[in-house]
Amino acid sequence: MTTELRNAPGGSPAAGADAILRELPTEQGTLRYWEAGQGRPLVFLHGSGPGVSGWQNFGDVLPAFAEHFHCYVIEFPGFGVSDPTDKHPMPAASQAVIDLLDGLGLDKVDIIGNSMGGMVGTLFSMSHPERVRRLVTVGGLGLNAFAPFPAEGINLLIAFTEDPTRERLIQWLRSMVFDEETVTEELIEKRWALATEPKTLESARRMYSSAAMKAQIAAQAESDDPPAWSMLHKVKAKTLILWGRDDRVTPMDASLIPMRTIPDVELHVFPKCGHWAMIEQKAAFESVVVEFLNREESTS
């Protein structure tokens, strides 16, 4: 059973979409999500990083999608909106997708995932192919083929997580975009408030501290399981990969492996754009993604 909390924040463009924040009780705690529009179900999965939320990632583009689809913007556990979690953010987010779909009785959906949300959506598409009609990822899916790992933006994120100062937050935010004027004082203040909340910071350190990154790399090196990028041929949904040409968090060469291995895939690259295509190239993002999701199924 869901509970309605409030309408979209005043002054946001998405308020015109009649977005409502709801909460869904789950075994993992209370899961919150924004709901707007009518039509085929479309689920938005946000990225990671200091002060991130589903609303921060997708609130501004929500009206364009709510005109066509029944939209659900998940707020992942541990990011300051839904209940905190003791789990690593990735498995907690993956479980949240299952909890939302099962809790709302959504058998098959389209998914838009940004960065970590793109990885979560891809893994869900691989493990539950019957439940995903179309998949859209915005950066973060694949493997750095030429660029070093971790990239600049990830290193700045680690630096903030280990020593959270306002200046480090600003440095990281600027690495996320092509045009640094995108990083406004309003954005900085919103991100700072969420990012420094103790439970949120604790969750971030499970993913982005130096120790966590070293442990992740060591575990991958010792594991006999195939890496996720080598299993992308298991994605059955029609897929659209979106990338900012100037992404300094997950460089564009990471798109090469998913572009070649996902069976039914398209790649669209936005110029003058960093990691946040839905923010820096808002109009183009809306146009490209709505067309892809509404395109008639091929009969061939």
Residue 182 lies in a domain: no
280 domain residue, yes or no: yes
- Which of the following is catalytic: 46, 68, 128, 275? 275
Q: Please give the pLDDT value at position 12.
A: 44
Whether 157 is covered by a domain: the verdict is no
**Rounded distance between C-alpha atoms, residue 70 and residue 64, angstroms:** 11
What is the domain range of residue 50?
1-5+15-146+226-292
Residue 160 within any structural domain of the chain: no
pLDDT for the residue 216? 81
Q: What is the pLDDT of residue 2?
A: 61
- How crowded is residue 295: how many other Cβ atoms within 10 Å of its Cβ? 11
**Looking at the 3D structure of the chain, how many domains does it have?**
1
Whether 70 is a known active-site residue: answer: no
CATH number of the domain encompassing residue 140: 3.40.50.1820
* 214: in domain: no
User: Is residue 71 included in any domain, yes or no?
Assistant: yes
Q: Is residue 216 part of a domain?
A: no
In a domain, 19, yes or no: yes
The per-residue pLDDT for range 100-113, each reduced to its tens digit, is: 999 999 999 999 99
Which residue positions in the chain have pLDDT lower than 50? 10-16, 299-300
